[in-house]
Structure 1
Amino acid sequence: MGLGEDGPDGLPPASRAALEAAEIVMGPPRHLGLLPDLDAERVEWPVPFADGLEKLRALRGRPVAVLASGDPFWFGAGSVIAQDFAPGEWRAFPAPSVFSLAAAHLGWRLERTPCLGLHATPFGQLRPHLAPGARALVLLRDGAAVRDLAAWLTGLDFGETGIWVMEALGGPRERVRNAKAAEYDLTDVAHPVCVGLKVAGTGAPIPACGGWPDDLFDHDGQITKRPVRALTLSALAPRPGEHLWDIGAGSGSISIEWLACHPSMHATAVEADPARADRIRTNAAALGVDRLRVVEGRAPEVLDGLDPPQAVFIGGGLSEALLSDLWARLGSGTRVVANAVTLESEALLAAWQAAQGGSLLRVELAEAQPLGTRRGWRTAYPVVQWSAVR
């Protein structure tokens, strides 16, 4: 059941009745400390969390009350516990979530405010939401994490961001303070803590469309450049819930932008160079998609055992052997996009397009550059792109 910071006094009658009828009450020490005298046995939920699930399963059939903060099904333990028990074995009694309490305090429209739980995930999860005027509500593990978040925002040139530090909302210890990220100096912030952010500063927002600026990615030159990346993502046609194989991933730019399209997307980046594989992981964490899976090795050898994709991009390592393996391995309906720069790779894609169909696109780009005292066009190598459906 969801328990507010004021303990059981704020619970509705049905929740209080369930708590009083329990033989065992499980929860973290902070929650157990909020309870009045009860006949029930008190059991601290251990760390790591999975050990508590094992204890709870062992108590199956007995009346057990599990305490959680606010709404257990919003960044809480509810969904994790419920998946281990049949619907008739459990009942939830949610309390107002900390996000609801925070929005009510700040007067922010909750349906238009991103809500993130960053207890144990990189601050990069917040990166796609950083744009002047944007707002967000964020849960953090402790007061030190608020200081770290302020420093992270300042380092990205969003130091003008307003931070509302909200401690123990809804209870007697409730406290709300405000500061700018660049001027943050609070040293006594107590858990549980939620922060409200009103973004401001000169930092670079991430575009909401495909084709992000190249300088958002750390790379060694092995990157699908912005205009070609936008065309490639359009050809891959991302759809919610789908999985991408990004073969020869380089900097990971294609798979990172794929994942940014929707939170339900999945991607596996395949990269043979260990340094580039590490760089992909760093880019993914910094840009808010640390769920990207990175597989080190050469395709097709490392493809065995991977979850099947709905789309495949070949940005490096293109060969007859790779295409033949993919065509035998992939399921019907899988979308395949391959880019080529060399004459040999162009010829290979032309042959496969003639045999398997799909579309063949030749992209030629030129950029204005200084030419003496004037300007001229500097032409990049043309890129040939083959798009097909298996």
Structure 2
Amino acid sequence: MTDNPAGLTVVGIGADGWAGLSGTATAALKAADVILGGDRQLALLPAEVTGERVPWPSPLLPALPGLLDEHRGRRIAVLASGDPMFHGIGATLSRLATTQGTTAETLRVIPHPSSVSLAAARLGWPLADVDVLSLVSAPVEELHLLVHPGRRILVLSRDAGTPALVAELLTGRGYGDSTLTVLAQLGGERETTRTGPAASLDLTGVDPLNVVAVECGRGGAARPLTPGLPDDAYDSDGQLTKREVRAVTLALLGPQPGELLWDVGAGSGSIAIEWMRSHRACRAVAVESSPERAGRVEANAAALGVPKLKVVVGRAPGGLAGLPAPDVVFIGGGVTRDGVVEAAWEALPAGGRLVANAVTLESEAVLAAWYAKLGGELTRVAVNRASPVGGFTGWRAMMPVTIWSVVKP
């Protein structure tokens, strides 16, 4: 996208259309030479807006830079639903301006109340206490991460089928007693609301322009966001970092928002999954040599609310080639294979963290050698779980795990 001397104005518009716009917004639209937007938004403009109306192409994102260049030098207005900077085209245009070297000052945004703000106002829900999820482009499985007893969630719907998908997920999780409210055409003359239990609410004939409000019930099993989910939360063939060791390992990995983790030798994917569950901005790539296990990782990730976990079928170190550079690396398997630790260490930036686990004498010896070479911390974790011994209870020891953690200087 090249510089546009005439500027670019993004105007938010609601279901109430032209009548709901401020004087600043209507003036910007009247002054525009060309107006870009979806068919629904463009249809809300009156005849007094004389600029050329250009519907968005599909797919939009690849065509966007060329479309803006095509109209360079003209006064461009972009129509967006609600607040353009809240899961809208305004944020996309801002990122595009930055990546293409266009100054952010050339982008002017005139927001309208978002559908989330309108929904919160109708329900009397303080937005600061509400989780918000957009399913306009995201898979519904991301909702798993937000479902907790008593929590309130506002879901931006993709279409008329989204409320049913939300209700199905909640019911399948044991939260069928959650209260579901579908708010359609918010702010418009055809605004409607329907409310009821997720397990039984009639969701036929829902308007495509809707927001789903969820007040989670208390009947489902809780899944804490802290590291160390129960082992039975995962489908596994036995290749699973056990709960107690997993909690210690995640503490050493130290996930921070926006960081990318490589989980090398992912097994059932528990480390990468709980890394991503720690914050919605955390990213991970799970590398697993077994296609069967890789499929299991994908299923576990979806069931536990992080379906965007990237799973790569490959054997390290070769399987690491071409991956986006990590901030942190975890090696759960393959430390005895030539080149694995070297490749992980080389990929890390200064300040990057590496954590590796070992359960055999041979892998422990490798970690001890690297510890002697690079320093860091070496920890052994031994866990005993109570289990029946005849008619009594005794301690059953799990295999001890040696953990090496180090920060790259």
TM-score normalised by the chain length of structure 1 = 0.95
Give me the whole-angstrom Cα distance separating, in 2, the residues matched to 1:118 and 1:24: 30
Match of 1:75 in 2: 87
Match of 1:386 in 2: 404
Deviation at 1:288, TM superposition (A): 2.2
| Same amino acid, percent of matched pairs | 48
Deviation at 1:286, TM superposition (A): 2.5
Show structure 2 runs of 5+ residues with no match.
1-10
1:132, 1:199 within 8 Å by CA — same for their partners in 2? yes
Match of 2:32 in 1: 22
Instruction: Say which is worse superposed, 122-131 or 97-106, in terms of deviation.
Output: 122-131
1:159, 1:201 within 8 Å by CA — same for their partners in 2? no
Letter of the 1:49 partner, please give it. Answer: L
- Whether 2:276 is the aligned partner of 1:279: answer no
Match of 1:59 in 2: 71
Show structure 1 runs of 5+ residues with no match.
none
Match of 1:40 in 2: 51
Deviation at 1:356, TM superposition (A): 2.5
Match of 1:374 in 2: 392
Q: 1:297 to 1:35 in 2, by over 3 A?
A: same
2:336, 2:362 within 8 Å by CA — same for their partners in 1? no
- Whether 2:275 is the aligned partner of 1:263: answer no
Letter of the 1:75 partner, please give it. Answer: H
Q: 1:45 to 1:323 in 2, by over 3 A?
A: closer
**1:148-297 superposed matches below 5 A:** 148-297=165-314
Q: 1:39 to 1:329 in 2, by over 3 A?
A: closer
Q: From 362, 381, 399, give the equivalent of 1:363.
A: 381
Letter of the 2:86 partner, please give it. Answer: W
Give me the whole-angstrom Cα distance separating, in 1, the residues matched to 2:349 and 2:31: 53
- Backbone CA RMSD of aligned residues: 1.7
Aligned to 1:9, the other structure's residue is in SS state helix
Match of 2:7 in 1: none
Give me the whole-angstrom Cα distance separating, in 1, the residues matched to 2:205 and 2:325: 49
Deviations 1:287-344 (A, max 9, x none): 2223322221111112222232232111111116222443455444332211111121
**1:78-89 superposed matches below 5 A:** 78-85=90-97, 86=102, 87-89=104-106
Q: 1:372 to 1:167 in 2, by over 3 A?
A: same
Give me the whole-angstrom Cα distance separating, in 1, the residues matched to 2:169 and 2:152: 16
Aligned to 1:182, the other structure's residue is in SS state coil
Aligned to 2:108, the other structure's residue is in SS state coil
Deviation at 1:238, TM superposition (A): 1.8
Give me the whole-angstrom Cα distance separating, in 2, the residues matched to 1:194 and 1:328: 46
Aligned to 1:82, the other structure's residue is in SS state helix
1:2, 1:70 within 8 Å by CA — same for their partners in 2? yes
Q: From 351, 357, 364, give the equivalent of 2:369.
A: 351
Match of 2:129 in 1: 112
Give me the whole-angstrom Cα distance separating, in 2, the residues matched to 1:357 and 1:92: 51
Give me the whole-angstrom Cα distance separating, in 1, the residues matched to 2:302 and 2:207: 27
Match of 1:138 in 2: 155
Between the two proteins, the alignment pairs up a number of residues equal to 390
Give me the whole-angstrom Cα distance separating, in 2, the residues matched to 1:352 and 1:88: 50
Match of 1:7 in 2: 17
Deviation at 1:51, TM superposition (A): 5.6
Give me the whole-angstrom Cα distance separating, in 1, the residues matched to 2:195 and 2:53: 37
Letter of the 1:61 partner, please give it. Answer: G
Deviations 1:252-297 (A, max 9, x none): 1101111222233222211111111122222222322233222211
1:271, 1:297 within 8 Å by CA — same for their partners in 2? yes
Q: 1:222 to 1:106 in 2, by over 3 A?
A: same
Deviation at 1:208, TM superposition (A): 2.5
Letter of the 2:46 partner, please give it. Answer: P
Give me the whole-angstrom Cα distance separating, in 2, the residues matched to 1:52 and 1:282: 33
